[in-house]
Chain A
Amino acid sequence: MNNRSLFVLFLIVSLVSLTSISVQAAPQISGELLSKLGVVLEDSYNLSAGQEVILNLDESLSSGAVHLKFKGDYKLPEGEWALDLDEAYLDYYAPNFDFRLGKQRLNWGTALQLNPTDVINPSNINDPLGEKLPVYLLNLDYYLSDTWQVTGVYAPFFTPAIAESPNPMIQLVKPENTFKNGEFAIKLSAMALQGMDFSLSFYHGKEKTPTPIIKPGEAPKAIFRDVNKLGADYATTIGDVGLWAEGSVNLPKDGDKNFEVIVGADYGFDNGLKIVSQFVHRSEGDKTNIILGGLNQVKGLYEWQLGGVYNITAKGLMLNPEFSYSLADATVFTAGLRYFKDSIGILPNEENQVYSQVSVSF
C-alpha cells in the first residue's frame, strides 16, 4: 500500500469514526448546475457547449464538519463525461485552533485573480484565472488572539499543474511521494490591526510547472525544481479607497531568484458603480508588466461589468464585457465577450469568443 492510499484510508477512517459518533443533523446538500454555450468568432465560428454539475454534501459534527464536493462535467461536441471527487475534508474545531484534513483548496492573498502568495494549490492550466486544483493537505489555523493567527500547512503528496509532458521528446520527472518531498508552508496573519490586514508567509516545496533540463549526452527531461518562497500581503482603506499589495520572492534551488508584486485599488461611487485597478510586475524572464482593471455595477436584477487586461510588455489587450440577469431566485443568466488584441500571456486559449451561461444554485 503506497503513501497516498494510506493517507486516503486514514482520511476515510477519520471521517467515518467522527461522523458515526457525533452527527448533529441530516447532511446538507447544495450545489450548482451550469449550462454553457460559446462561439469562437474566428474562421469557422466553432460552437462549444457544456454542462457542469457541482454537488456539495456537508455534515455538521459536534466540534467540526465533513465536506464532500463532487464535480461533473459534460462537454459538447466531444460528448465526454468526467466525474470527480473534487474536495473531501474533515474539519475539527477547538477553542483556539481549526484543523482541516483532506483534499482541499487554500486561497491565500489579498489581490484579485492573481495571487503570488497562493502557492499551495497548483493553477489549472486550462483556466489559470479560475479555481485551482485541489490538493491533499493538513491545514492548521491557530488563533493567537482575535487579531493574530498562525497557519501551518503540510502537503504530503506533490500535485503538479501539468501531469503529462506536453512534448513526448521530453521526459517529465515527477518527484517520489516521500516525506522529504512533501511541501510545507507557514503564515502569520493579522486582521484589523490599526485598520489594516497583513500576512507574512514562507513556503518550501516544488515549483508546480516543470523546468526543462538539457545536458549533453542525456535525454532531455523536465523536473519540478525545489523552491523556497517568501510572501507578504497587505490591505487597508484610505478615505473611501480600498488599497492592497501582495508579493513573493521565489528562490529556486537551481535557478535565479525572481519576484512578483501586485498593487491594487478600488473605489465605489454613490450610484453603485465600482472601479478596480491592479498592476502586476513579474521579474522572471522578460520582466512582464500587466494592468488589470474593471468596472462593475449592480442595478436591481441585473449586473454589468467591463474587465480588461493589458500586458504592457507584450502590448496585448483583452476586453471582457459581461452582463448578468437574475431570472429567478438562485438562477442567473450571463452573457459576455472575450476580445483579444495580441496576446496577454495569461490565458491558454486567447480566441475572440462570445459566451453565455445559465446557472442554477440549490
Chain B
Amino acid sequence: MKKILKRSIVLALLLSLSLGATAFGKTLTGEEILTKVDQTMGAESKVMKQRMTIVAANGQERTREMQMWSRQASNGDEMLAKFLAPGDVRGTGILMKDEDMWLYLPALGKTRRVAAHAKKGSFMGSDLTFDDMEQLGSRGFAPFYEPQILGEEEVLDVSCFVLKLTPLDEENAFSYVKMWVEKDIFLPRQIEYYNADNTVQRLLTTWNLREEAGRWRAERMVMEDLTKGSKTILEVQEVDFEQSLDASVFTTRNLERGI
C-alpha cells in the first residue's frame, strides 16, 4: 500500500511538473510563442478602419483616420492604406507589396515608388514606422527577428512570456526588442525597443483586448517614443476578417482612386 501511495505521489509530482512546464511555457520554444503571436495578430485578410492620435511632447494632439486592407499572400504580404481625414491628408494612399512600396499624394496626382529606407521612417508623422504598421498589421514578427525566451513576468496585471527578439537584419534601427506575450491568448501586451546603448527608445502597450470569432485583438495600441516624449495612439474603429481580398485589391489603380 505504501508502495502504491509512493508511486502515486511520484506520478502526481511528475504529472504536475509536466503540466506546469506546458502551462508556464517551458515546453514552448521562443519560435513557437512568436509563431503563435503572429497567428493571433495576423489574418488571411483584414479590412480595418483606424483612428491614429499623435500626441506631441508638448501635449498637442493631431488625429488621422484611415482605412486599411491587408492580406497574407503566397508571394509576400500586401497592404493598402488610404487616409480619410483630416483634409490635409485625405486621399493619401500607401501600397506595400512584399518589399515594394508606393505612395500616392493627391496634390501631386501620381503614384511614386518609395525606396526601402522609407519603411524605417515615420508613418505619416507618427511614432510608428511603416515597418511597425506591417509587423503589427499582417506580416508579424517572425520573419524579422530571432526569438529567445527569457522567462515569465506579470505585466499590466497579466501573466506573460518574456521574449527577446534579435533582428535578423543587421541594419535594423534597434539592437533588440523585448516582448511580453499574454500567456493565455498569445497577444503582445508590451514591447520595448532597445537602441544601441541598450536603453529603451520606444514602448508599445496594448489595451482593450477583445475576442471576436475566436480571435483576440487589441482595440487600442499606444506607441511611446521615450527619447522624444511623444506618443501615438492607434484605435480600431471597425474591423472585418471575413471579407475576401484578392490580388486585384492591392494595385496602384486602387491606390489612386480608392476601393
Give chain A's interface residues, CB within 8 Å of chain B. Answer: 30-32, 65, 91, 93, 98, 105-110, 141, 143, 146, 149, 191-192, 195, 197, 235-237, 239-244, 266-270, 272, 274, 298, 300-301, 326, 328-332, 359-362
Contact = CB atoms under 8 A, between A and B. Distances in A.
A262 to B, nearest CB: 14
A237 B100 CA distance: 9
A270 B201 CA distance: 13
A359 B108 CA distance: 17
A122 to B, nearest CB: 15
Contact of A266 (B56, B115, B230): B115
A240 B228 contact: no
A106 B109 CA distance: 8
Contact of B87 (A109, A239, A242, A361): A361
A244 B88 CA distance: 27
24 contacts: A30-B87, A30-B90, A32-B87, A32-B88, A65-B257, A108-B110, A141-B253, A191-B102, A240-B117, A240-B171, A242-B113, A244-B113, A270-B120, A270-B173, A298-B125, A300-B228, A326-B62, A329-B62, A330-B86, A330-B87, A330-B89, A332-B88, A361-B87, A361-B90
Interface stretch (B142-150, B183-191, B235-243, B244-252): B244-252
Interface string B74-104: 0000000000001111100000010110100
Contacts, number: 104
Contacts of A31: 87
Interface string B50-61: 000010110010
Contact of A330 (B88, B100, B114, B116): B88
B116 A240 contact: yes
Contacts of B86: 329-330, 361
Nearest to A58: B91
Given A146-B247, A300-B125, A301-B60, A268 B87 contact: no
B88 A359 contact: yes
A192 B97 contact: yes
A268 B117 contact: yes
B122 interface: yes
B101 to A, nearest CB: 9
A242 B248 contact: no
Contacts of B17: none
Given A197-B113, A301-B56, A330-B87, A272 B100 contact: no
Given A192-B100, A272-B121, A301-B56, A239 B116 contact: yes
A197 B75 CA distance: 18
Interface of B: 54, 56-57, 60, 62-63, 86-90, 97, 99-100, 102, 108-118, 120-122, 125, 171, 173, 228, 230, 247-248, 250-253, 257
A93 B247 CA distance: 18
A54 to B, nearest CB: 10
A106 B97 CA distance: 25
Contacts of A362: 87
Nearest to B63: A329
B130 to A, nearest CB: 11
Contacts of B100: 192, 195, 237
B251 A237 contact: no
A236 B88 contact: no
Contacts of B125: 298, 300-301, 326
Contacts of A105: 109
A270 B114 CA distance: 15
B77 to A, nearest CB: 14
Contacts of B253: 98, 141, 143, 149
Nearest to A196: B113
Contacts of B88: 32, 330-332, 359, 361
B116 A93 contact: no
Contacts of A110: 112-113
Contacts of A143: 251, 253
